[in-house]
Every structure is written in structure tokens, then in C-alpha cells.
Structure 1
């Protein structure tokens, strides 16, 4: 559950602002005006703090509520500019296009790839195969994960498939993230970038209808994922 202790605004107003910013191409100043039109006076800097604080919490809860995914994965990374430098946003989807996991990294190398795969496996189980492009770092990351699995007595070995054609699925899926990030003024820190991207991914998963729910709107589902808020 998300704790809103110390927050002087109604819980629905906080979650509405966070959800709206993550889902739609608005700036914090635009959102400040939108909230004011709904009777909530809140500074754009406060809105930024809400997004950075609550997005990772909602993302963590979303992983536990996600529908079961398929065992054939597509993995790739895209570029995100943070503090004037290009960083790497690792992402994976299954062959149906459902988002599996995501992770921002300062580097694109074997340890980063292995760390991402370990994170994805911990929340989605062991896939039968992972489709990647020609990246040597990603292939090395899968080999590293297979060694770890073997060390723990797991007989399952993840198959590596290198195919740019099959990987078009995730490359196309990058577009939602890139479109949302492209309208921002840029990230000022790794922490804020990672937190905001986590939230954008959850908004994307809601758009894909990846959660079993009877919620009547994307916002209500966002609140449902966030859980009962504690004041």
C-alpha cells in the first residue's frame, strides 16, 4: 500500500495527478493548470515530487498483479537522455507484446544486461527463449544467467535467438515510451529518470490491459494497483 502520511492533499487528487502525468503528454506546468481547474492548487515542483516518490511503488505493486506472461521473450534497450548524457533503458516483452520488465542503466554491457535479466526472471519466471538483436553484451548477459541457473541446480537453459526481424515487436513497443519522454524537458537525475520511467511503463501496461480487473477506467485501475492508501 502507498502511504500518504504528511501529504496535505486528498489521496485521489495525488494519484490522479501522478496517473495523468505518466499516461499523457503534459508538462508539470500544464498539469498544474489542469489540477487548478479541478479545484486543487498545487505547485508543479510538488507534482514532480509526487511522480518521483510514488511511481516506483506503484511499479513494484504492478509486477505482482500482472497477468501471467508467455515464455518467449523479446528484449532490447533504447536510449534515454539523463543529465545531458545518453543512458540505456532495458525493456522486455513477451511474444504477445505484454510488458515483462524494465530497468534504466548508465551502461550497456554484460553486467547491466545480466542484472536486467535477473530482475526480469525474478518477477516473471524462467523463459524458454529470449530474442535479442546482434548485441554481444545481451548475449553475454544471457550466458551469465544460464551459468547462475546451472549453479543452483536448475536444468532449464534459456535459448538465445538473435533475430532483428523477430525483435521488431519490442522496437515498435519502444514508441510509447519515447513519445512520452520526448515531450519532457529532460531528466535532471538518474533517480528521477528511473522513477518516472517506471511509472510510464505501468501506464503503458494499463493501456495494454495487462491487469485482471473490473475497473471502469485507467485511473481507477491505477488506484487499484496502488492499493489502499494510508494517510
Structure 2
């Protein structure tokens, strides 16, 4: 592996385990519908005795660093967005998980929060020309609030069938989170969902061409640590 990024090197000082091993297990955790107990058993079969809670700690420490690195390598997205929300349980309460994709299916952004959003996606990806939503009155109100502060308003479309592409993206995340059986804290939910979304975007080919030449999805994920 190449030289580590300073952020990853700082995390390693507190984890005291080979990074190559940690990255493999963290990637498997966010890439596949596996529980922490599944991963503990799989590691034991390979002669690695690590408690499932340790794998969880690796994920919580490493994923925010890898997500930040990914955002520097993320391809630009289109100017026509589809926005929808689903729900995730954190600390026994249902929270909104928002996702925006462009018309090609590329993830624009995602956000877990208790209230509505649009600002984060626009701040990190520039404003779209068009946003398509379902019949959600709250999303419509949120977009009107954004437009009230803009000289050139974003065009708003409320056409449910056009949002099928973002609803399919929700299902991919739900399949992965189901074995987790909910999240104990909002912070853990935000970090782990961020890792799942990064892995999903890498699998969709959203890293900039040349960032990791001729590499597999796994190699692109590991590259984020350098």
C-alpha cells in the first residue's frame, strides 16, 4: 500500500492493528448484507480472533476519513436531480434518510437527519437546474425556501414515476442495513450509512477517471486510505 494519508495515520495510532486487515473487514461490512457477528465468524475461520465490537470500532473510526477522501475524488453529477427520502431507525426513533441522484442514476448526495434538507447537496454539488420530487409537500416547501434566496430559481417537478431511479437506490441501502437491526446512536447511523453510500457510489463508477487507474471496486475503496 502507498503512503497513508495523515488522517488515516492518526486513526491508526489508536487502533493498533494492520490497516490492510481492517480495510478488508470494514469494506465487507459496508458492501454486503453481513452482521458484525457474521464478520466475527468469518474472521475466526481465517485464524483472526477479533471481537465483533472491535470491527464496529474500526468502522466508526475509519469510515469518516474514507468518506472525506472519496468526496475529493467524486465525479461531477448532472444538473437534473431526483430527490426522495426513506426512513432509518436510530436510537429507537425513525429518522429521514434523504438521497438525490441525477437522471443517470449517479448519487448526488445523501443525508441522515431528523428534519428536511436541500442545502448540503447544493453546497457540495452546486445547484441543479431541475429537481424532481414526489407529491411530498414538505420537500416542495423546502425547495420553495431554497428558491426564495436565489436569483435563478430551480425548476421543480412533482412527477412520482420519474423518481423510480432514486427509490431503487434506497432499496440497495436498505438491503445492507437490514442485518444491522437498527443503530444505537444517531452518530453511528450517520457514519455507517456514509460508508455504505461511499461503497455504493464507487460500485456505480463515481470516482474520477484516473484517480485509481484500471482498478477494481475493492482497490478503489482501499485507495481512499492513501
Aligned pairs, number: 215
Instruction: Specify the alignment match of 1:222 in structure 2.
Output: 221
Task: Confirm or deny that 1:160 pairs with 2:156.
Answer: yes
Structure 1 runs of 4+ aligned residues shifted over 6 Å read: none
Looking at structure 2, the residues matched to 182 and 85 of structure 1 have their Cα atoms a distance apart, in angstroms, of: 16
Task: Confirm or deny that 1:145 pairs with 2:146.
Answer: yes
Which residue of the other structure, out of 186, 197, 201, is the alignment partner of 1:205?
201
Q: Is the 8 A contact 1:77 1:90 kept in 2?
A: yes
Looking at structure 2, the residues matched to 157 and 45 of structure 1 have their Cα atoms a distance apart, in angstroms, of: 48
Secondary structure, in 3 states, of the residue corresponding to 1:120? helix
Cα root mean square deviation, aligned: 1.5
Looking at structure 2, the residues matched to 118 and 57 of structure 1 have their Cα atoms a distance apart, in angstroms, of: 22
Cα distance, 1:37 vs structure 2: 3.2
Q: What TM-score do you get using the length of structure 1 for normalisation?
A: 0.87
Q: Is the 8 A contact 1:92 1:102 kept in 2?
A: yes
Secondary structure, in 3 states, of the residue corresponding to 1:41? coil
Cα distance, 1:5 vs structure 2: 1.4
Instruction: For structure 2, list consecutive stretches of 5 or more residues without a partner in the other structure.
Output: none
Once the two structures are superposed, the pairs formed by residues 17-166 of structure 1 within 5 Å of their partners are 17-107=25-115, 112-113=116-117, 117-148=118-149, 150=150, 155-166=151-162
Cα distance, 1:90 vs structure 2: 0.7
Cα distance, 1:20 vs structure 2: 0.8
Instruction: For structure 1, list consecutive stretches of 5 or more residues without a partner in the other structure.
Output: none
Task: Confirm or deny that 1:192 pairs with 2:193.
Answer: no
Q: What TM-score do you get using the length of structure 2 for normalisation?
A: 0.89
Looking at structure 1, the residues matched to 154 and 69 of structure 2 have their Cα atoms a distance apart, in angstroms, of: 27
